[in-house]
Amino acid sequence: MQVAQLRQRFFNSISPGGLAGDRRGVVPASGFSFSAQQIWRVIKENKDLDLPAHKVMVATVRCEEIANEKFCRLSSDEDWLALEEAVQSGSVSGFGRRLSSILETYFSEYDSEATYFDEDVRNAKRKHLESKALDLVHPAYLNLLGHLRFKALENFKSRLEQMLKEAEGFAASARACTESCMHEFDQGCADAAIKQANWDASKVREKLRRDIDAHKLSVRDAKLSELVARYEEKLRQLLCEPVESLFDAAGRDTWASIRKLLRRETETAVLEFSTAISSFELDQPTIESMLQGLRDYARNLVVKKAREEAGKVLILMKDRFSTVFSHDNELMPRVWTGKEDIKTITKDARAASLRLLAVMAAIRLDEKPDKIENILLSSLMEGTVTSPDPLASSTWEEVPPENTLITPVQCKSLWRQFKSETEYTVTQAISAQEAYKRSNNWLPPPWAIVAMVVLGFNEFMLLLRNPLYLMFLFVAFLLSKAMWVQMDVPGQFQHGTLAGLISISSRFLPTVMNLLKRLAEEAQGHRTPESPTQQQSSVAFQSFRNQSQLNPPSSIAESSVSSNVSVSDSSVEYSSPNLMQRRSTKVQEAELSQ
């Protein structure tokens, strides 16, 4: 047994407990001078030759010098500086592998130079060197992670936008883009990792996830806002003009039609909107909130339009009054001939305007009955006096204040203003009716006829006692009748009283002269032959007369020129167009008989 132990001591002579002595306290030759100086300093200070403390002290100083040298060389290493500069400008492929190689080189050199120093000191100084080296390169690693995060976020934005342009669902597109970009980031982090350190990239990864989620939320909100705006604009187009048209033609069923229109268009828009947002995979409360917001917007559109129309209700009332008053049941313009009952027409027109006011007085989107129309008709049209006055209030019965468009007091004021502004139209209609009656009544008033009968009784008795007067009056009647026919008195007065008087006065003397001349010629049994000039003049006048009859609305001057003057060598002849036509006809008959 002893022989075996002695053999082992020979074989391991330089190991602890070997024959050559314990090598754990040996100082390398390169550190001998420094060791001697330290021995002397310890002798003088401590008077104690503690060789193990001296060994640790030498190892500490020497390992620290080696570590500092390696760190300085690492800081100025060209490969490291080039790698750091590359990281400043963007991501670098193979960063972890290249940096690990550089660090391993300097760590290996440290291990080779410090291998003979105290193990504990050597390891401690190596850890310190590793810490300093990692602190040196860690900012570059973080910078690289920042580039990777930015690149992943930009890739997410571009891919999401592209997928949305291809009409992909938002939630599915965002999920696919998130997974692909996070996978790329994880690969970049794995490539950037070094084997000398176990750096954690979870914080950067969480920040990237937050950035992606924030961008997804902003894009989702923007897309939803765009969808909401699109359907709100669609509702505005589908509701505003029809509602305005319904208010313009306001009647008993106006609000029922508005409710029906609002319900139909709102439900259609809500159904389409619900289908459109299904791809966003929102939670049910959010979906219900958005759908309710769309319904509220449609209702507010109708309410806003109702308030706008209520602001111009007086104009609408006057338009309704004018339509009913000035047009018949077939919407044809009325002609005031004297047969119309203006009082009844006025009452109907005002009742129609008052019903329009009742329609515009309150919002009726909840299908709740009210008595507004009955109150207005009884108080303003029928003049029913009740106590207290139902119109002396600022609210309507059974109508909430928020649904009131025109208060009862305002209705009363509007009605007074409406009546004063439409009174002129009624007065004009009455004047037109009276003017038409006067222009179409040739007989004197009844009282004038009675007066003539009473005052003319003596003259009537005189005619009965003297028959010659009766014959004279008969002849005068025949002459007057002939002149009436020749001058076409009713036709002349069709253009107006003044124009008729001027025309008759200009034709009276020529007509009388023609009648006397004709009577004289018939009494002599022959007639004076007409000169060619007279015949041409007569034919020309007859043509002019026919044209005038074809064109009734001629000027006063044209209507007054209705006689013909023919000049001969012996005398001046005045002839009316009808006489000339008759005479020309007789001449033609005489020539045919010959």
Other Cβ atoms less than 10 A from the Cβ of 467: the count is 9
Give the containing element (helix H, strand E) for 273: helix 254-277
Judge contact between 181 and 159, C-beta under 8 A. Answer: yes
Going from the C-alpha of 463 to that of each of 166, 450, 458, 476, 478, the distances in angstroms are: 113, 19, 9, 14, 17
End-to-end CA distance of the chain: 195
Rounded to whole angstroms, how far apart are CA atoms 305 and 311? 10
> CB count, 10 Å around CB of 406?
20
Helix (H, G, I), strand (E, B) or coil at 193: coil
Distance CA 572, CA 400 (A): 93
- Rounded CA separation 544/581 (Å): 13
Cα–Cα distance between 464 and 467 in angstroms, integer? Answer: 6
Distinct helix (H) and strand (E) counts, the chain:
22, 2
pLDDT at 578: 39
Report the alpha-carbon distance of residue 1 to residue 14 in Å, rounded.
21
What are φ and ψ of residue 46, in 5° steps? -110, -15
Residue among 341, 363, 489 at smallest CA distance from 426 = 341
The two tokens of residue 488 are 């076409």
Q: How far apart are CA 423 and CA 421, in angstroms?
A: 6
- Phi/psi region, residue 459 (left: phi>0; alpha: psi -120 to 50; beta: rest), is alpha
- Structure token pair of residue 213: 């989620």
pLDDT value for 577: 40
Grouping H, G, I as helix, E, B as strand and the rest as coil, residue 170 is helix
- Report how far residue 214's alpha carbon sits from residue 204's, in angstroms, rounded to the nearest whole number: 15
Are 240 and 190 in contact by the 8 Å Cβ rule? The answer is no
According to DSSP, residue 573 is labeled: E
Q: What's the token pair of residue 268?
A: 């259609």
* Most distant CA atoms of the chain, gap in Å: 204
| Cα 2 from Cα 24, distance rounded (Å) | 25
Q: Are 239 and 262 in contact (CB under 8 A)?
A: yes
Give the start-to-end residue ranges of the domains of the chain.
25-199, 223-308, 314-439, 488-593
Residue 336 backbone zone (phi > 0: left; psi -120 to 50: alpha; other: beta): beta
* Cβ atoms 556, 502 nearer than 8 A: yes
Neighbours of 11 (CB within 10 A): 10
Report d(CA 121, CA 60) in Å as an integer: 6
Phi, psi of 564 (to 5 degrees): -120, 135
CA–CA distance, 316 with 318 (Å, rounded to integer): 5
Query: Of 407, 413, 248, 244, which is closest to residue 315 (Cα–Cα)?
Result: 248
CA 391/CA 310 separation, integer angstroms: 18
Tokens at residue 433, please?
């009716």
- In the beta sheet, which residues pair with residue 573? 566
As a whole number of angstroms, the distance between CA 80 and CA 369 comes to 87
Query: Could you tell me which residues are beta bridge partners of residue 58?
Result: none
10-residue mean pLDDT profile of the chain (594 residues): values are 59 55 57 69 59 70 90 91 90 89 91 86 90 92 93 93 86 93 93 89 93 94 94 94 91 92 95 92 92 95 94 93 89 84 92 92 89 89 73 86 92 93 92 81 73 78 76 82 80 76 83 81 62 41 40 35 35 37 40 38
φ and ψ at residue 110, rounded to 5 degrees: -60, -45
DSSP 336: -
Q: What is the DSSP string of 307-334?
A: HHHHHTHHHHHHHHHHHHHHB-TTSPBP
> Residue by residue, what is the 3-state secondary structure of 126-156?
HHHHHHHHHHHHHHHHHHHHHHHHHHHHHHH
Tokens of 47: 């008077």
